[in-house]
Amino acid sequence: MSGGDMAKPLLGHRSMEGDPSITPAAGRTIGVLGSGDFARSLAIRLVCSGFKVVVGSRNPKRKAGLFPSAAEVTFQAEAVKKTDVIFVAIFREHYSTLCDLADVLAGKILVDVSNNTEINHNKESNAEYLASLFPACTVVKGFNVVSAWTLQSGARDGNKQVLICSNNQEAKRTVAEIAQVMGFTPVDMGCMSSACEIENIPLRLLPAWKIPIFLALGLFLCFFTYNLVRQVIHPYIREQKNKFYKIPVEVVNTTLPCVAYVMLSLVYLPGVLAACSQLYYGTKYRRFPDWLDQWLQHRKQIGLLSFFCAALHAVYSLCLPMRRSHRYQLIETAVKQAAEKKMNIWVEEEVWRMEIYISVGIIALGLLSLLAITSLPSIANSLNWREFSFIQSTLGFIALVISTLHTLTYGWSRAFDENQYKFYLPPTYTLTLLVPCTVILAKVVFNLPCIQQRLLRIRRGWEKGRYVKFVLPSAMGEYSSGETSSNV
């Protein structure tokens, strides 16, 4: 896999934590407009962090009891007069009701904490709208990605990052300073044009997971239908046997490992395709097609879903003997055996096959668990690049090879038994081997010295057919220069 494989999660924006320009701000007075859930949690956290808090409400008498006694609850205009930094904890549609306060708000910092109900709901972001209503104020977008619950429980139990943006550096620094004192990690997202992106963040539903989830569901559906036809429909049509009871456990349990195995190979297939493209074009500077780019970016999620399916397969397999159908079948076999006066049904080859099958399956699941654990940001961040790449790339590939052994020992000689071809359909395991074996074969080919060398050179910047100027080191005594094709 390329050096950038399974890249660790990187923060796309600058973390302001530890910024020497940020100085402690505890003790200063902070204003909060609004007395709802967010305002209350914010006030509690600010008070706990050592700030003086003044809350502006339309009805201070009624709302005062909801706030800690250390916080002053007063009318909006009174609150605004007492501070330079004001958190606007009210909904966008009520911003215009604050216009009466425009004069007292002039020159102050307004922190817009609002969220929308839909992605890109309005043309302009809420923060930009607030700024347009109060041109004499400095608006900073921030704290909207933190829930009221996180604010109350402190930064320990929830998301620690507070994304901040503003066109005014000084105001941004002031809000970052407050966030840091409250125990959060301020992240500078740049100027006000980022507000829309920040407001969309809490509304996104697993954006990086959509494609991998659809892929897993698609594979599950295909393999489930295939197994259903082979295990249930075929005996029903050909032998009039009712095997529908197999659907909830057996068919699902033969489908899950197929999905897990193919998904695992799909983690490594884009790396192979990327390497093929680099070898073909003789450069690493050519952009991959968008679909390959997207695929490379989703490998972590595909790998985690593979682990999820493998773990479910393990649980289902452990539960197989618990089923009543299994007990009936065991008793039936024993009765048949007794009737036929068979004493020994031990088949050495079958015993060994099963022992090896289970053992390699457990090892494969263990390796997949390791890959899943190390893909967690907190663990990944504690590893250096070499350790991370060894686990994700080398151990991941070993997991794929061991899963292949697991599949082969499961199938054993069934591919050569014509009774296994139901409706002329080959056993499912033979289909699942297709992609993983291609990946393994490609990896072996890429490791051949001649190809590996070329790939390594390409990844270090060498390009096919490109002429480079070289200069012999002057230490050789003679200064020499010339043109040569670097691919010679």
B/e letters for 56-88, b = 16+ CB within 10 Å, e = fewer, are bbeebeebbebbeeebbbbebebbbbebebbbb
The CA–CA distances, whole Å, from 12 to 93, 187, 189 equal 31, 10, 9
The least CB distance from residue 135 to ligand NAP, in Å, is 20
Tokens read off for 457: 């050179």
- Which spans of this chain sit near ligand NAP (rule: CB under 6 A)? 34-39, 57-59, 63, 89-91, 94, 97, 113-115, 144, 147-148
Query: How would you classify residue 424: left for phi > 0, otherwise alpha for psi between -120 and 50, otherwise beta?
Result: left
For residues 447 and 467, what is the distance between their CA atoms, to the nearest angstrom? Answer: 27
Pairing verdict, β 185-188 and 481-485:
unpaired
Residue 148 or 401: which CB sits closer to ligand NAP? 148
The least CB distance from residue 136 to ligand NAP, in Å, is 20
At residue 46, what is the residue type?
A: L
Residue 89 or 256: which CB sits closer to ligand NAP? 89
The least CB distance from residue 36 to ligand NAP, in Å, is 2
For residue 464, which of 238, 301, 323, 280 has the smallest C-alpha distance?
280
For residues 429 and 424, what is the distance between their CA atoms, to the nearest angstrom? Answer: 15
The least CB distance from residue 183 to ligand NAP, in Å, is 17
The CA–CA distances, whole Å, from 300 to 256, 364, 379 equal 19, 17, 14
Pairing verdict, β 109-112 and 138-141:
parallel
* Proportion of the chain in helix, strand, coil states, percent, rounded to 5: 60, 10, 30
Residue 92 or 299: which CB sits closer to ligand NAP? 92
Residue 121 or 443: which CB sits closer to ligand NAP? 121
Residue 118 or 478: which CB sits closer to ligand NAP? 118
For residues 102 and 180, what is the distance between their CA atoms, to the nearest angstrom? Answer: 29
Beta bridge partners of 112: 88, 141
The least CB distance from residue 149 to ligand NAP, in Å, is 7
The CA–CA distances, whole Å, from 263 to 8, 44, 172, 218, 393 equal 20, 47, 44, 11, 15
Do residues 9 and 166 make contact, with C-beta atoms less than 8 angstroms apart? no
Residue 58 or 464: which CB sits closer to ligand NAP? 58
The least CB distance from residue 163 to ligand NAP, in Å, is 12
The least CB distance from residue 257 to ligand NAP, in Å, is 41
Residue 90 or 305: which CB sits closer to ligand NAP? 90
Do residues 406 and 357 make contact, with C-beta atoms less than 8 angstroms apart? yes
The least CB distance from residue 151 to ligand NAP, in Å, is 8
The CA–CA distances, whole Å, from 301 to 119, 255, 263, 332, 365 equal 23, 19, 10, 44, 17
Pairing verdict, β 29-33 and 52-57:
parallel
Sign of CA dihedral 167, 173, 178, 182: positive
For residues 268 and 434, what is the distance between their CA atoms, to the nearest angstrom? Answer: 14
**Residue whose C-beta lies closest to ligand NAP:** 36
The least CB distance from residue 122 to ligand NAP, in Å, is 13
Owner of token pair 């620690």? 160
The least CB distance from residue 176 to ligand NAP, in Å, is 18
The least CB distance from residue 37 to ligand NAP, in Å, is 4
